[in-house]
Structure 1
Amino acid sequence: MNEAQIAELFIRAAEADRKLPNTAKPAAMKAMNVGYVHDRADMNQWFEEDKKAANWAWLDPKNLRNTTNDMGIWAAAMEVIKLCPSETQRRALWAWARSEAGGKAFAKWCKSEEGISRQLGNYRKDTAILQIARAFDRKPLQHNENTDEADFTNHPEIEDKRSIIGVWRPEESKPVCGFDGALQDFSWAEAQNARRREREARRKAA
């Protein structure tokens, strides 16, 4: 996963989180607000935009319940966020995702909850995403606690073959400047036969 995909994952997880109940069980009902059903006479006085909004209000994503896929994304985000070792950076990332999903503004959260500036909050959020991206980019079960270094490649398991790949050519390729033209049609069988004939000639001469 790259950084953009990680950010999108947390935004979608925050959207699902906003639909979750705040408690383990629903609160006891104290009063019921019975919605008023408009008849055709009422709706005839409405504008066309109001009629369309009323007809399709039940399809508003904010009013729909979480699907199995939404809960899977939410659970995946809760596991992925563990890859960031800093608690402050994890909080900043989740607060930013909730603000992108329609929750509390990120700048307001930084000031009221953390007592920091928006710039520092963005730095913590970006660092958390970078830490997660680096965790996905590392080799599994090998130096998982180490981050990438600028002087080294991200994928050394293929970079160490660069010298071999650079000189390899397919059979149909043409020799460069003719310096290896003699090697293009080289045959090990013919070379072995030539060496055997030389040995037999030396043996007869002796």
Structure 2
Amino acid sequence: MNPIEIRALPAHALLARYEGTGAYTDCHTLAVDGRVPLASYIEAFYTSPVFKPERWLLGVVLGRRASDADAAALAAGHVDTFSAWRVEARADDQIVLATGRTRSWLMVAPRADGAAPRTTLFFGSAVLPRAKGGLGWTIDALTGFHKLYSRVLLRAAAKRVAARSLRGRRMTSLRRLGRLRSWPQVTSPTNRNNNGCCPKRCKTGCPRGTWRTSSATASTAWI
């Protein structure tokens, strides 16, 4: 998988409004294969095994439990709250969630590198300054851990997106395979019982060659 990069916030990022206000902001990115809709990224992020302990802790401490179904509802835009978070802003390609002085930001950006489509996943955070100014010593002390945790969260979300994409492709292949296997089976010209024609022995006659279907690959070839 591609490496995680730390970048400046894009100018159009919904999180960019906090730059220059005394808030802490960051931006991590990771490029993945395929086109990833924002909803898929949101759901993968908040249902990853890495995020679930945080989700559980928020549920226990604040009494605001959330499930995978709640994450799916958030991703689909059906709700504006998720555990201790509320949707502060949302666009077609990004979302900002807020809780207290903390903001979490997710964004997707399709790329056209070469023939295969790719998507850059963005994950950023903001911590707003206190009313009396400054971020507080706890934020300064936890910055290193936060940066590491952000990278782990982004990597876990990317892996979940890739796994779901692979399952989707496999299901599509299986459906196509099922349709091919449901086609009428025909024999090869070496079948002397019907002179190489189909088992129904149609009266219209068959061409010199005939269709052959491989049961192993469900592919057809003219022979």
TM-score (norm 1): 0.28
Q: Which has the higher helix share?
A: 1
Mark the structure with the bigger radius of gyration: 1
Higher RCO, 1 or 2 (CA under 8 Å, sep at least 6)?
1
TM-score (norm 2): 0.27
